[in-house]
């Protein structure tokens, strides 16, 4: 019982550095299939990866920036018009999740929220631990642009734990978030530049010495990170699958 499989659908930063797709991680447990973040480019690569959108039960959003939740309206478009989705879809995110997703949809496809609401959609917010089928999902606030309501995410199932920093500067809450994880995915946008709301490798590599996770993968890397030959930690690889 537990998490079975992680596939990296997108691992890029907001700028498309290295021609990488925006953040989207596909996770599978014994009973549930979910996306952790669904960035603006997710739909292309989900389809290319052969993932059936109708199989996905849950979309978990770390924060309200386009490279992390901008793909949801396209997910809905495909589900409503092409596949006629009847399976329930639950979207989990920070406070005002439904308003934010519907606001984005209204901006991109005015009037379509009414149709999308015909699907079996449920929105849940991170006020407490969320129990969904065989999953427990917790979110901790992190340090990024406040209007995006940034969170790190922890998904547990059976004996397995997946954790993800979201976009953030270093905060000690990442120690709790990642404690005893099988896989901890941590953003590392820069190698040495200090940019508010993001991590750089020079700071992160020391902090990681105290992180208690079986495996750490760096993600959301900009050109500085992609081009550095000084990175000693494992990085996410698009299309790669990881077992638990």
Cβ nearer to Zn ion, comparing 15 with 175: 15
Binding of Zn ion at residue 37 (CB under 5 A)?
Answer: no
Q: Give the burial string for 171-209 (b: 16+ CB within 10 Å, else e).
A: bebbeebbeebbbbbbbbbbbeeeeebbbbbeebeeebe
CA 16 to chain centre: 16
Q: Least CB distance from residue 231 to Zn ion, whole Å?
A: 19
CB 122 within 8 A of CB 153: no
DSSP 111: T
The residue among 108, 31, 123 whose CA lies nearest residue 66 is 108
Distances (CA, A) of 43 to 62, 78, 156, 162, 166: 18, 9, 25, 23, 20
Cβ nearer to Zn ion, comparing 180 with 193: 193
Binding of Zn ion at residue 167 (CB under 5 A)?
Answer: yes
User: Which among 29-37, 67-75, 155-163, 195-203 is the span making contact with Zn ion, rule CB under 5 A?
Assistant: 67-75
User: Which among 45-53, 94-102, 162-170, 175-183 is the span making contact with Zn ion, rule CB under 5 A?
Assistant: 162-170
User: Which among 24-32, 59-67, 136-144, 207-215 is the span making contact with Zn ion, rule CB under 5 A?
Assistant: 59-67
CA 226 to chain centre: 20
Binding of Zn ion at residue 67 (CB under 5 A)?
Answer: yes
Site string for Zn ion, 113-152 (x = CB under 5 A): ----------------------------------------
Return d(Cα 220, Cα 83) in angstroms, integer: 31
Cβ nearer to Zn ion, comparing 28 with 167: 167
Cβ nearer to Zn ion, comparing 14 with 36: 14
Number of residues lying near Zn ion (CB under 5 A): 3
Name the residues that contact Zn ion, by CB under 5 A. 14, 67, 167
């Amino acid at each position: 019982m537990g998490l079975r499989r992680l596939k990296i659908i997108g691992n890029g930063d907001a700028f498309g550095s290295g021609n990488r797709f925006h953040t989207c991680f596909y996770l599978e447990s014994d009973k549930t299939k979910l996306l952790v973040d669904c960035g603006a480019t997710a739909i292309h690569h989900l389809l290319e990866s052969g993932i059936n959108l109708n199989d996905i039960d849950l979309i978990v959003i770390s924060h309200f920036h386009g490279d992390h939740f901008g793909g949801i309206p396209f997910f809905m478009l495909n589900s409503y018009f092409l596949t006629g989705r009847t399976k329930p879809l639950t979207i989990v995110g920070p406070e005002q999740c439904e308003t934010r997703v519907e606001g984005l949809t209204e901006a991109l496809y005015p009037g379509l929220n009414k149709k999308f609401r015909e699907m079996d959609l449920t929105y849940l917010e991170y006020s407490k631990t969320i129990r969904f089928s065989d999953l427990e999902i917790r979110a901790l606030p992190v340090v990024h642009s406040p209007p995006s309501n940034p969170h790190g995410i922890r998904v547990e199932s059976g004996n397995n734990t997946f954790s993800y920093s979201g976009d953030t500067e270093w905060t000690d809450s990442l120690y709790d978030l990642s404690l005893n994880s099988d896989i901890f995915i941590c953003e590392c946008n820069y190698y040495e530049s200090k940019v508010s709301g993001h991590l750089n490798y020079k700071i992160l590599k020391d902090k990681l010495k105290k992180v208690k996770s079986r495996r750490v993968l760096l993600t959301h890397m900009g050109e500085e990170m992609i081009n550095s030959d000084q990175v000693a930690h494992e990085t996410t690889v698009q299309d790669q699958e990881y077992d638990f």
